[in-house]
Amino acid sequence: MEPYELTVAEAAEAVRTRRVSPVDLVDSALARIARVEPRLKAFTTVTADRARDAARRAETAIARGAHRGPLHGMPVGLKDLIDVAGMATTASSRVRSGHRAEADSTVAARLASAGAALVGKTHTHEFAYGLTTPQTANAWDPDRVAGGSSGGSAVAVASGAAAFALGTDTGGSIRVPAALNGVVGLKPTYGLVPRHGVTSLAWSLDHVGPLTRTVEDAGLVLAALVGHDPRDPASVAAPPADHRPGRGTDPTDLTGLRVGVPGNYYFDRVDPEVEAAVRRAIGRLEELGARLVDVEIPMTRYIRAAHWGLMVPEATAYHERTLRAVPDLYEADIRVLLEAGELMTAGDYLRAQRARTLMGRAWRDMLEAVDLIAAPTVPLTAVESGRTEVTWGDGSVESVADAYVRLSAPANLTGVPALSLPVGLDSAGLPIGMQLMGRPFGEAAVLRAGHALERTGTARGLAPDRAA
């Protein structure tokens, strides 16, 4: 096994016991980048010298007994919305071509403190405003979309170019590419991970979270990110929690866990192979001791309108000056969305806020009866690059972007934690993702259930080597 193939947990133990050095890990990741990057294009920039320097420092520190924990020496990719002092934060846009960050974002600083080695910045759909990341190819099939907007981060992890990566999620932008590339993506509770120094899409919906190869790794990374930061107005001082799953005597025992199975919305207009795989995984949860409970998702008719009613005007407000100063530097699809936001009224925005408030209350009531909701992450697997529409079995037609965001947006509107993990492959050999959603600050339950599934063999590892 090559060092780049190790999970964070495996690599951390190998580093701790001196069987593998951080230099080995980083060199292996950089070699992997050189091999797959020409076709996958996951990175906006590769920071080889910086990564090697960090690896050497980690190796020296660990040798003298100053081991900082499981992320010490781990190769990491950061979505190119996340500031690192002295580096460009381009948001994969010509608008930001001359930008340089003056200081680290909170999450970058916390990863640096944990000893992680930055191997590069990863591509996003321009300013995170899309669900495909068109610059980047899918790690499982380079002729298909990577998903977005954190497509570069998902592909970097799935291809072995980084042990883990960070992304952002405003309507599914961590979970969608995680599902399409067969990796794990966690959108934490709103406010749990600070966003200071992270370029915003829509501030009342934005989240920062990890993309990893396993649920166990997601818990390890999350533990390094949480903590109140007064520079982020939404940041909360959450009660202390152990986000590492599988700490009990039997990590596959889910006795007492109540899992809600939606009778509406989440299985509407879903590819039959996706539905079958997710229902099999739900059945596996029951076999592990969980109790399945039928639930009705509330206020579904308002989900799309409320999500767009918040995201579109907030994004336009963020870009107001540059949209007037350099409109031609935006890609056409993003410019249209930003201009559309100027047509929305204050009344529209306030109605969306009211709907979101009512929806949040209704979800909290629903989650009184269950600990988790289990559902598909996205209704279909990765489509061919350039494809814009999906035709469902009932004859209805939906845009690819609307299809991908439809099942992930509710967790952004309500702010609840949501984990996507792989639960199988379709007949074309493409990954299928399942989503586990919990109560606010209920990451422990979400990770516990996902880890139990992972331990019983439903999760996948690295993507097949098809990109070289």
More confident residue, 135 or 457: 135
347-358 pLDDT per residue, tens? 999 999 999 999
How high is the pLDDT of residue 411? 98
Number of continuous H segments (helices) and E segments (strands) in the chain: 15, 13
pLDDT at 248: 65
Can you tell me the mean pLDDT for 222-236? 96
403-446 per-position pLDDT tens digit: 999 999 999 999 999 999 999 999 999 999 999 999 999 999 99
What secondary structure does DSSP assign to 153-213, as a single string? HHHHHHHTS-SEEEEEESSSTTHHHHHHHT-EEEEPPTTTS--TTB--S-TTT-EEEEEES
Q: What is the pLDDT of residue 247?
A: 66
Task: Give, for 81, the enclosing helix (H) or strand (E).
Answer: none
pLDDT in tens, 15-52: 999 999 999 999 999 999 999 999 999 999 999 999 99
pTM above 0.75, yes or no: yes
Q: Where does 355-445 show beta strands of DSSP type E?
A: 372-376, 389-391, 397-399, 418-425, 431-438
Average pLDDT of every residue of the chain: 96
Catalytic residue check, 79 = yes
The band of 208, judged by pLDDT with boundaries at 50, 70 and 90, is very high
> For strand 117-122 and strand 43-46, is the pairing parallel, antiparallel, or unpaired?
antiparallel
Catalytic, out of 21, 28, 41, 79 = 79
**What average pLDDT does the segment 374-389 reach?**
97
User: Annotated catalytic residue: which of 28, 92, 105, 149?
Assistant: 149
Q: How far apart are CA 435 and CA 449, in angstroms?
A: 11
The catalytic position among 28, 173, 235, 420 is 173
Q: What is the pLDDT of residue 454?
A: 92
**Contact of 184 with 178, CB cutoff 8 Å:** yes
At residue 22, φ and ψ (nearest 5 deg) are -55, -35
Q: Is residue 153 a contact partner of residue 41, using CB atoms and an 8 Å limit? A: no
| 420 a catalytic residue | no
